[in-house]
């Protein structure tokens, strides 16, 4: 029979400690604050690359830590990123069909 302490230890085997998750949440909140600041500060031509870079960093952090891909088998990460790449490819092809990228 398992005790409450053993169950609590088992819950953290697959991820980080609560303090680790709080640190990740604070980092994500800071990046979100920077994203919001791009509306008020004129970044000029760096506006879109800055937003896209921050978006990618946040996406990777959420997927790695909160979806536990960092702690799972590498096959799950591979399958997730292949599916993501396929979805992005299909989305870009759909946009290209409507001549979205032509200025």
Buried b (16+ CB within 10 A) or exposed e, 6-43: eeeeeeeeeebeeeeeeebeeebeebeeeeeeeeeeee
Predicted confidence (pLDDT) per residue in 50-83, tens digit:
888 898 889 888 888 888 888 888 898 898 888 8
Burial tier of 65 (Cβ tally within 10 Å: 0-12, 13-18, 19+): buried
Separation of first and last alpha carbons in the chain: 67
pTM, entire model? 0.67
| Three-state DSSP class for residue 52 | helix
- Tell me which of 69 and 12 has the higher pLDDT: 69
Q: Is the pLDDT of residue 11 over 60?
A: no
Q: Is the pLDDT of residue 2 over 60?
A: no
Q: How is residue 77 written in tokens?
A: 């990460």
Q: How is residue 71 written in tokens?
A: 């702690």
Domain ranges of the chain: 4-71, 73-103
């Amino acid at each position: 029979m398992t005790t409450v302490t053993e169950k609590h230890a088992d819950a953290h085997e697959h991820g980080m400690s609560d303090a680790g998750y709080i640190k990740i949440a604070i980092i994500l909140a800071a990046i979100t604050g920077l994203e919001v600041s791009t509306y008020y500060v004129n970044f000029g031509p760096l506006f879109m690359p800055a937003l896209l870079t921050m978006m990618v960093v946040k996406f990777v952090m959420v997927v790695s830590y909160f979806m536990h891909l960092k702690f799972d088998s590498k096959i799950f990460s591979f399958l997730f990123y292949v599916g993501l790449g396929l979805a992005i490819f299909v989305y870009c092809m759909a946009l290209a069909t409507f001549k979205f990228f032509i200025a």
